[in-house]
Amino acid sequence: MGLRSLLAAICILAGFKFVVRLMPITHLTSGRALKGNYLASRAWTRGLDPYDHAVVTRIWIDAGGTAATAPDRARTPSVYPPTALVLYSPLAMAPWSLASVIWCGLSMAALATLLICVHSLAGIRWLEAQSLCLIAGTLALEPVSNTVQVGQTSILVSALAAASIVYGLNDRRCASGVLEGLGIALKPQLALAFAAPFVLTRRWKILSASRAGSRAFISRSTQEEKMTPGDS
């Protein structure tokens, strides 16, 4: 068996492990991390306090959930900034059963995007030895499958940031800045680290576009709060 055949077999095994780790499918619909953000955004769109555990629990019950499946007090309220609630708001309009499936699809698409961007940045040709090692390693990593399972944002933010870098290197500054701004609005503590290459290379136009995008979401979130004061 040649090296590529061996690596291809490892990729298949890693993919199998990734799928098995997500089973049973009810794990995806429980989405502990997603549930907190989903309900917080749902509260925000109704003018309620998204950082109040009692409010979040009441919204879950009103949506047809049970007290037994309500968000854990240790995981709520959500620690995500108001800008993230703006981005979650379209998802929060859908029923939980549909929203969890949509988010899982977004996570899978983000994982594929991340792999595409890493291939591009590293100059790796698809299905060569390096490519197969990258794919197998990504699918085998426990944090990757766990992120998809519980509905965290890390993969999505990383994909946005990686795509931002790819666009920036291709001198598509506006698109690069917008993508970085989306990542910062969703999870600033992670996305800001990806802005370092732009700072070090003094690509100020990209950073300006990123700042403008982030400020737009900040303005939207604060405007909503002023229009509909919280009521816990």
pLDDT of residue 191: 78
In a domain, 11, yes or no: yes
Residue ranges making up the domain that contains 196? 3-227
**pLDDT tens by residue, 128-162:** 999 999 999 999 999 898 888 888 899 999 999 89
- Say whether pLDDT at 222 is over 60: no
Residue 16 lies in a domain: yes
40 lies in some domain: yes
Q: Which residue has the higher pLDDT, 156 or 190?
A: 156
Angle at alpha carbon of residue 103, lines to 100 and 108, rounded to 5°: 130
With beta carbons less than 8 A apart as the criterion, state whether 47 and 230 touch: yes
In this prediction, residue 230 carries a pLDDT of 47
Question: Domain for residue 195, yes or no?
Answer: yes
**Helix ranges (DSSP H) in the chain:** 3-21, 26-30, 32-45, 53-62, 82-92, 96-122, 129-140, 142-150, 154-169, 173-186, 188-194, 196-200, 204-227
Residue 81 lies inside a defined structural domain of this protein: yes
Confidence of residue 231 (pLDDT cuts 50, 70, 90): very low
Q: Specify the 3-state DSSP secondary structure of 36.
A: helix
The answer, yes or no, to whether residue 232 has pLDDT greater than 50, is: no
What distance in Å separates the CA atoms of residue 16 and residue 115, rounded to the nearest whole number? 18
Provide the domain count of the chain.
1
CA proximity to 80, closest of 191, 159, 212, 224? 191
Handedness of CA 25, 26, 31, 32 (dihedral sign): negative
The contacts of residue 51 (CB under 8 Å, 6+ apart) are 40, 77, 78
pLDDT digits (tens, 9 = 90+) for 78-119: 778 888 888 899 999 998 888 888 998 999 999 999 999 999
Q: Is 175 exposed, middle or buried (0-12, 13-18, 19+ CB in 10 A)?
A: middle
* pLDDT score, position 209: 67
Instruction: Report the range out of 66-75, 148-157, 171-180 with the highest average pLDDT.
Output: 148-157
Tell me the CA end-to-end span of the chain in Å, nearest whole number. 64
Q: What is the pLDDT of residue 179?
A: 87
Supply the mean pLDDT for the chain.
Answer: 82
Q: Does residue 181 lie in a domain region?
A: yes
| Per-position DSSP letters for 64-83, written without gaps between them | T--GGGSPPTTT-S--S-HH
Report the 10 Å Cβ neighbour count for 232: 12
Whether residue 232 is contained in a domain is answered as: no
The stretch 67-84 carries a mean pLDDT of 77
